[in-house]
Structure 1
Amino acid sequence: MLRLATTTLRASRLRHASTSSRPPLRGRRIALGSGLVLTTLLTSKIYADSAAITLSSTSKEEPRSQSPMGTLVRSYVVYTMCSMPALVDNAPWLLETLTSIPGVRWITEAIVRVTFFDQFVGGDTAEKTLPLLQRLRQNNTGTLFAHSVEVDEAEAMAAGSSSADRNPHREIVKEMIHCIDIAADFEQTVGAKETGRRTWVAVKITALLPDASALIRLSKHILTIRPPTTAPHVAFPGNPTVSDLDVIYAPSPAAGDLTPSDLSMLRTLHADLEAICTRAQERGVRVIIDAEYSWYQPALDALTLALMRRFNALDTGSTQPLVYATYQAYLRRTPAHLVHALRDAKRHGFALGVKLVRGAYHTHESAAHPDPTSSSTAKGKTLSISPDVLPPVWAVKRDTDATYDACASLLLDAVAADIQSAPPGSAPHVGVLFGTHNWASAEGILRGLEDRGLVVREKEKEGRLVVKEQLGERVTFGQLYGMCDDLTETLANRLDSNAPMVIKYIPYGALSEVMPYLSRRAIENKSVLGPDGGAAKRERDRAWGLIWNRLFGG
């Protein structure tokens, strides 16, 4: 077969020497086959959705939306594709294959740009996202910026120390600082005060150093040297301590697997994070440390705790909390870990910033955790570094849901207590970003705010909640850009506050750099986006219902 294909291809090249730029035969077949399969699947989905709308449109009121028709059509196409597990699983291979074929690459990139890129990415650069930021702010919605380019570790290491300034991770550090300036400048153009700024910046720590595996080795070292405690056991990754980073600054460290190069990289990383936070402090922009895999978490916890103790100190007089850590409800440790974090912040005089999410890497975390009955050789091949018998994540989604709602209630209690005890004009001691696409959780948080007297229901406008001024700097909701716009709009409309109480997480980056991020992100979130999770189907159904109503009324 291979010999026949090679012969055919050679003959084709001889016959069409003047058009040699055409893609190879196998590539054209892949492109044509992919297009036919995708067209067939989309057509079947459209037919099924048309039948469903025809049967149900008269009995159910469709949600309102200000989105243009083109945006609704794009959302429908994108979420239809997200509902196809086989397509999501093979997305990285398809993108790599199609973009490697001359003549097909530009078509592939054009399709990705007008579908997934425009749906989930704010723009190629921070500056190009500004019109989107302006539109969102007009709809009482803020922004969480995220430069979503990820470092190719092999490429970064090959660059060599002599060209450090041109290494990808060095450019990303510079971009983080630039992004903070863009966020602060935007807030100034809309006339936001120092309190009430809702353009924040997300930081992915693994992208800020040339070899992210150094963080894994630091995590292993931290687990090894942590002092024993008489406190109740906290599941992996446990709780950070103030001494976790001592190893990278020790004159003669007993560093285990950490190499001198690792220690140098980690010291530079810590300095870069401090530089990022210093600029954020100067410009009044909050910094959110993104969640990552559990094998990085002990190191990330140590770095984040060090940043919080310095930049969230209550005597600094700056925006507080400035630095937020991400707490993932699917981790078994999170309830106990959050209680510990609240107590530790109060004991040591710094504000605690919490971004509460469910978690996006469940499938990978479960697969990476070794079977307790497996051999030591098999265990050594996994990325997991957890010493626990059980995986770090809950086995079933209902446990994650219960943990999220319980942690949300705990945080609302902390916010209410902080407001009650805070002198007038004092900085918040706790700030929370509730990241959720779950309607039940969002409604539960709104009820919790009302039950604690933190919002007041307007009698004239059913469902509208007036936010007390002290709450505005302590509680925010967030959703990913391109997802759950109806939930975002509902929250923005229901909460009457001086500053936006809802923000959109908006990644940005050049298309060629963001495509791997988009394909990996789709796989990582398949459990949420796929038919079992229901989010993709719900988004698709919502878009189709709005399209139907625009075309035919309803």
Structure 2
Amino acid sequence: MFYVKSASTLTRSGLEVHFRRGLLSTHRLRSTVTSTSPSPARTGKEDRGHRGAAEEETENPAADEVLVDFEKTQEVYRSKASLELLRSLVVFKLCSYDFLVDKNKEIMDLGKKVLGQKAFDQFMKMTFYGQFVAGEDQKEIRPLIQKNLAFGVGSVLDYSVEEDISEVEVGQIESSVCLHACTRVGGGVTAPFLLRANRDSMKGGTKAFTCTNSEEAKCDRHMETFIKCIKASGWSSTDGFSAIKMTALGRPQFLLNFSEVLVKWQNFYAFLAAQQGKDATLKKKLDLTQIAFICEVDMLGCFINTFLPSHRCIDVLDWNSLIDERTKTAHLLVVPNVELGELEPLLKRFTQEEEEQMRRIFQRMEILGMHAQENGVRLMVDAEQTYFQPAISRLTLEMQRIFNTTKPIIFNTYQCYLKDAYENITRDVQLSKREGWCFAAKLVRGAYMYQERERAEEMGYEDPINADYESTNRMYHRCLDYVLDEIALNRKANVMVASHNEDTIKHTLKRMNELRVLPKENKVYFGQLLGMCDQISFPLGQAGFPVFKYVPYGPVSEVMPYLSRRAQENRGFMKGAQRERELLWKELKRRLASGELLYQPVY
């Protein structure tokens, strides 16, 4: 089986870390995967209905309104020395040139050859690295954390050493299992096409990756680094955050394989719903007695008696809850192949190595969750590439079921540049309400846009990204409004508005005022990247809103992929950051005129 039967004891640095219990043997490993089907059209009436009750209770929102001024540069940049302002101006200007951004890897490689590694590292610390990264280790980043906290801004510690798999490995797996190429139901998927993808997978076999002890040891070292981040967040503030990456806790190849299983399961539900003339939304239920292939191979009794004894109609959440029994019932989950005239398994079986990798990922995640609880820290699971995301979301939701029972500790990340972001977030909110745990989300626009679009074009599947920036803005606000309404309704949900868009921040403040959600309730958090949008972060913090800087750290050489990706993904922002540059110039000129050019922050 690929679910954890027991949580064994791990030894870390001579310390015995004992699990409370075999949590994952008593908590069924249920699936709520990131959807791969398009979001159905939602009417404004539906959205208004969700938040109507909360808005009706608003009597005098102006009484509790907190005003934030983003224009006073003297207050905005009180935490910055003049040299820091000058560095920001130079870096922002350089990042606005497409040539430098497009060729950043080649330029950095050339810089290493010309300057040598030591001189290159020092140059980066004076410029790009110094702007966007806090330092190499926890000792080096401590002064910055303390300074920001003194000016009302907390920190989300993020060890920014990124893991991925090669282009060849992704291509081999994606092409063999048609992970994204399986046309969505809305695009006219047919049973033969769906089965053809599965048959090819069975013939060629999804690539089996051997997980070596050194690779497992590397994941364990990453876990130890995350534990140090959690402890550092605990001492840095009473209500801190720490970021973790799932690809650092488990083999990326395994996450890709696991995503394949989850996506196929989700697509199959959409296919069955289409057969009954329905869509795959939460409001629609499947009638198992009307699914022809189940009746033909006498599976109805198995589905109803084994899994769903109380009813024969299921929704998508019920369907997802069956995935934890996949390895037991793989021989029953068969579908007819019209080309071969045979019955075939829908899902692949995990190997013993893959089952062990699953078990170890959960053990590492549970250890991190326990440390977060003990240190009063919330964990943010970063979103990653879409070919990993179904597995990442699924694993994160399982940990939310365990640790978010009384208060939100585990935060999932939703990328609003994806076309199905709204469907994903509404589904997870409904799941949390059904099961009684606290929903917690970080909303981002997205950080892998160029990479995702290039891969979609190369692999020949539908671009998962919204058509343009304005479409992403609309999606972001739609998701944000939905979660804010949920907070107003039951006060159990939490959200971090991770945005550099001043209009989005103002929209959030307006909605909080309308819904009577106060800053001191700590239900709505704000987040920006270190080195960006100080004119948003510090005024919010000084006005009493819980605001955090994402604080990346790590060795210069190992953080280069992070800086390269940020340069690519933020090029649009940097090119349009005229307002921020104007504010920086305004403050520098003010200091020059008032004789404060040598100003140093005091805290």
TM-score (norm 1): 0.71
AA at the equivalent of 2:147:
R
Q: Which digits, 9 at most, give the CA deviation of each residue in 1:409-456, with x for residues without a partner?
A: 21221111114xxxxxxxxx211111111111111111111112234x
Q: Is the 8 A contact 2:145 2:154 kept in 1?
A: yes
Alignment of 1:257-296 (within 5 A): 259-296=351-388
In structure 2, distance between residues paired with 1:325 and 1:248: 27
AA at the equivalent of 2:279:
P
In structure 2, distance between residues paired with 1:245 and 1:540: 52
AA at the equivalent of 2:449:
H
- Secondary structure of the 2:388 match is helix
In structure 2, distance between residues paired with 1:332 and 1:162: 39
Q: Which digits, 9 at most, give the CA deviation of each residue in 1:57-81, with x for residues without a partner?
A: xxxx872221111101111111111
In structure 1, distance between residues paired with 2:384 and 2:216: 26
- Secondary structure of the 1:479 match is strand
The CA RMSD measured in Å over matched residues stands at 3.0
Aligned length: 428
In structure 2, distance between residues paired with 1:105 and 1:176: 27
- Secondary structure of the 1:324 match is strand
Change (3 A) 1:346 1:86: same
Change (3 A) 1:121 1:166: same
Tell me the equivalent position of 1:331: 418
CA shift, 1:186, in A, is 2.8
Tell me the equivalent position of 2:559: 514
Tell me the equivalent position of 1:9: none
Q: Which digits, 9 at most, give the CA deviation of each residue in 1:480-510, with x for residues without a partner?
A: 1100001112212333xxxx51111111111
Tell me the equivalent position of 2:222: 172
AA at the equivalent of 1:298:
P
Tell me the equivalent position of 2:212: 161
Q: Which digits, 9 at most, give the CA deviation of each residue in 1:35-55, with x for residues without a partner?
A: xxxxxxxxxxxxxxxxxxxxx
In structure 1, distance between residues paired with 2:453 and 2:529: 24
Q: Which digits, 9 at most, give the CA deviation of each residue in 1:357-401, with x for residues without a partner?
A: 11122222222224xxxxxxx63xx6x6xxxxx422210111111
In structure 1, distance between residues paired with 2:451 and 2:150: 39
In structure 1, distance between residues paired with 2:209 and 2:107: 27
Alignment of 1:481-520 (within 5 A): 481-495=530-544, 501-520=546-565
Q: Is the 8 A contact 2:269 2:280 kept in 1?
A: no
Q: Is the 8 A contact 1:363 1:527 kept in 2?
A: no
Change (3 A) 1:295 1:549: same
Q: Does 1:478 align with 2:527?
A: yes
Q: Does 1:120 align with 2:207?
A: no
CA shift, 1:264, in A, is 2.8
CA shift, 1:247, in A, is 5.3
CA shift, 1:109, in A, is 1.6
CA shift, 1:170, in A, is 2.5
Change (3 A) 1:301 1:241: farther
Q: Does 1:202 align with 2:243?
A: yes
CA shift, 1:265, in A, is 2.4
Tell me the equivalent position of 1:411: 483
CA shift, 1:289, in A, is 0.7
- Secondary structure of the 2:377 match is coil
Q: Is the 8 A contact 1:245 1:303 kept in 2?
A: no
Q: 1:63 aligns with which of 52, 66, 73?
A: 73
Q: Is the 8 A contact 1:357 1:435 kept in 2?
A: yes
AA at the equivalent of 1:418:
N
Q: Which digits, 9 at most, give the CA deviation of each residue in 1:336-358, with x for residues without a partner?
A: 22222111101101110111111
AA at the equivalent of 1:521:
R
In structure 2, distance between residues paired with 1:140 and 1:514: 27
CA shift, 1:250, in A, is 8.9
Change (3 A) 1:86 1:228: same
Tell me the equivalent position of 2:396: 304
Q: 2:261 aligns with which of 221, 243, 250?
A: 221
Q: Is the 8 A contact 1:173 1:208 kept in 2?
A: yes
AA at the equivalent of 1:212:
P
TM-score (norm 2): 0.65
Tell me the equivalent position of 1:74: 87
Tell me the equivalent position of 2:291: none
CA shift, 1:126, in A, is 2.1
Q: Which digits, 9 at most, give the CA deviation of each residue in 1:57-109, with x for residues without a partner?
A: xxxx87222111110111111111111111111111221233245x5333222
In structure 2, distance between residues paired with 1:250 and 1:503: 46
In structure 1, distance between residues paired with 2:361 and 2:152: 36
CA shift, 1:234, in A, is 6.3
In structure 1, distance between residues paired with 2:328 and 2:124: 45
- Secondary structure of the 1:294 match is coil
Q: Is the 8 A contact 2:223 2:364 kept in 1?
A: yes
- Secondary structure of the 1:506 match is strand
- Secondary structure of the 2:383 match is coil
Change (3 A) 1:297 1:158: closer
AA at the equivalent of 1:368:
R
Q: Which digits, 9 at most, give the CA deviation of each residue in 1:455-487, with x for residues without a partner?
A: 4xxxxxxxxxxx4x4x22x11111111000011
- Secondary structure of the 2:437 match is coil
- Secondary structure of the 1:172 match is helix
- Secondary structure of the 2:320 match is coil
AA at the equivalent of 1:476:
Y
Tell me the equivalent position of 1:435: 498
Higher relative contact order (CA 8 A, sep 6+): 2
Tell me the equivalent position of 1:19: none
- Secondary structure of the 1:200 match is strand
Alignment of 1:127-138 (within 5 A): 127-138=139-150
Q: Which digits, 9 at most, give the CA deviation of each residue in 1:206-239, with x for residues without a partner?
A: 1222x4122122111212233525463469xx98
Change (3 A) 1:247 1:136: farther
Gaps of 5+ in 1: 1-60, 315-319, 371-377, 385-389, 420-428, 456-466
In structure 2, distance between residues paired with 1:149 and 1:359: 18
Q: 2:508 aligns with which of 430, 445, 454?
A: 445
- Secondary structure of the 1:286 match is strand
CA shift, 1:281, in A, is 1.6
Gaps of 5+ in 2: 1-70, 167-207, 283-315, 334-344, 596-603
Tell me the equivalent position of 2:582: 541
Tell me the equivalent position of 2:202: none
In structure 2, distance between residues paired with 1:272 and 1:173: 7
Change (3 A) 1:404 1:475: same
In structure 2, distance between residues paired with 1:140 and 1:280: 22
Change (3 A) 1:265 1:528: farther
AA at the equivalent of 2:474:
A
Q: Is the 8 A contact 1:361 1:525 kept in 2?
A: no
In structure 1, distance between residues paired with 2:554 and 2:327: 32
In structure 1, distance between residues paired with 2:211 and 2:400: 32
Q: Is the 8 A contact 1:358 1:404 kept in 2?
A: yes
AA at the equivalent of 1:434:
V
- Secondary structure of the 1:228 match is helix
In structure 2, distance between residues paired with 1:250 and 1:263: 16
In structure 1, distance between residues paired with 2:470 and 2:236: 40
